[in-house]
């Protein structure tokens, strides 16, 4: 082969290689365009959850676990029951933590759904060194009305009894206690010493040898500077809440509206509160997960009758075995665990009776 032919062959080979390289270079961007990147997850909105202090103590660890599990974000704002519920009504908060049910005739709470979270105990507390260890329902009733003012009335020393309470109106613990003792959560009472929240109340009781106030088991159980009184000889524990033997029990709620700006995110958080992980956290706070003790719903009439008998007052007249107290919250509670139950359908009727009863009482007081 001549030198000329060899040169032609080498030229042909180089040309083919150049074409191959050029084709590959042109194809690479096309391949890159064909590969789709994974879609980024949509950002979750931060839920604003305002709460009374009692419920906030329980919610804070639930929120930590919820966020650690990367399920969403929640901003907890401990303040007061009224501010929490009014913020939900105004749309400045997505949800509220409340240690009481809805007040049926309060406009700001109408249209708000009270979804049950856990059963809890309201507990009378005194200073750790106070010798009194038990209080009766009647004594507590009369303390609230200003009829008992000395510790000797409770079997203690001859010393003035300083009754503490929470100042903001319709506070969760105060409302729920009065609902049980008087059938009305806004019952007027004689409480001379008022504090901004249950935390501040406990701080006073720690230092006040003659003080007595109402807190929650979840708040006070781990405070060694206060002593929790038993009621009618029964100590508040998770077990005595669940079986209904401790008389001063109620429900903590997460309250929200269907038209809340972040309704879907709130619904996701509420769903989490019913999970096994959430229930474990609730039990650590000395409350009973709501669905662990649904039998208490059926015991409401029995519960009310027990308290009334110890107060020696006439039972609340009802046309069914479910009491008038907290009918709206009861309906929403039943709807969560038994949406087809007849009791759920009866709740509106009970709410109307409760409203009529309160109106009659107010009219009688004015004459």
User: Tens digit of pLDDT for each residue in 192-230?
Assistant: 999 999 999 999 999 999 999 999 999 999 999 999 999
Tell which residue, 292, 286, 178, 216, has the closest CA to residue 52. Answer: 216
Strand partners of residue 251: 119
Structure pTM? 0.77
Q: Give the position of tokens 């969760």.
A: 172
CA 182, 296, 82, 64 torsion-angle sign: positive
Q: What value, to the nearest 5°, has the Cα angle with vertex 308 and ends 305 and 312? A: 135
- Can you give the pLDDT at residue 331? 53
pLDDT in tens, 121-165: 999 999 999 999 999 999 999 999 999 999 999 999 999 999 999
What domains can you pick out in the chain, each with its CATH number? 46-119+249-357 (3.40.190.10), 121-242 (3.40.190.10)
Average pLDDT, the chain: 84
CA distance 263 to 170: 26
183: Cα separation from own chain's centroid: 21
Residues 6+ apart with CB under 8 A from 285: 57, 58, 61, 218
The pLDDT score that the predictor gives to residue 104 is 86
């Amino acid at each position: 082969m001549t030198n000329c032919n060899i040169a032609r062959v080498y030229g042909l080979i180089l040309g083919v290689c150049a074409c191959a390289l050029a084709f590959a270079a042109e194809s690479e961007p096309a391949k890159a365009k064909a590969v789709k990147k994974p879609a980024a997850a949509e950002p979750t909105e931060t839920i604003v959850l305002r709460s009374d202090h009692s419920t906030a103590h329980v919610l804070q660890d639930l929120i930590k676990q919820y966020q650690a599990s990367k399920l969403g974000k929640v901003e907890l704002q401990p303040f007061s029951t009224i501010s929490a519920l009014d913020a939900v009504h105004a749309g400045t908060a997505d949800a509220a933590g409340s240690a009481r049910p809805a007040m049926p005739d309060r406009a700001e709470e109408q249209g708000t759904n009270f979804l049950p979270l856990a059963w809890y105990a309201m507990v009378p507390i005194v200073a750790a060194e106070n010798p009194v260890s038990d209080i009766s329902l009647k004594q507590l009733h009369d303390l609230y009305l200003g009829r008992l003012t000395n510790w000797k009335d409770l079997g203690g020393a001859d010393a003035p009894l300083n009754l503490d309470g929470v100042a903001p109106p319709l506070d969760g613990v105060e409302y729920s206690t009065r609902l049980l003792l008087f059938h009305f959560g806004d019952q007027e009472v004689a409480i001379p010493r008022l504090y901004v929240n249950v935390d501040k109340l406990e701080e006073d009781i720690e230092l006040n040898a003659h003080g007595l106030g109402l807190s929650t088991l979840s708040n006070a159980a781990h405070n060694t500077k206060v002593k929790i009184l038993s009621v009618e000889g029964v100590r508040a524990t998770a077990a005595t809440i669940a079986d209904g033997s401790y008389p001063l029990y109620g429900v903590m709620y997460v309250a929200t509206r269907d038209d809340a700006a972040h309704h879907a995110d709130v619904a996701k958080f509420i769903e989490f509160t019913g999970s096994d992980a959430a229930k474990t956290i609730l039990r650590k706070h000395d409350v009973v997960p709501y669905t662990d003790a649904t039998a208490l719903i059926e015991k409401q009439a029995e519960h009310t009758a027990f308290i009334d008998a110890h107060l020696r007052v006439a039972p609340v007249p009802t046309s069914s075995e479910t009491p008038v107290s907290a009918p709206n919250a009861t309906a929403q509670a039943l709807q969560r665990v038994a949406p087809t139950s007849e009791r759920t359908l009866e709740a509106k009727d009970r709410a109307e009776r409760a409203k009529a009863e309160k109106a009659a009482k107010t009219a009688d007081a004015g004459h």
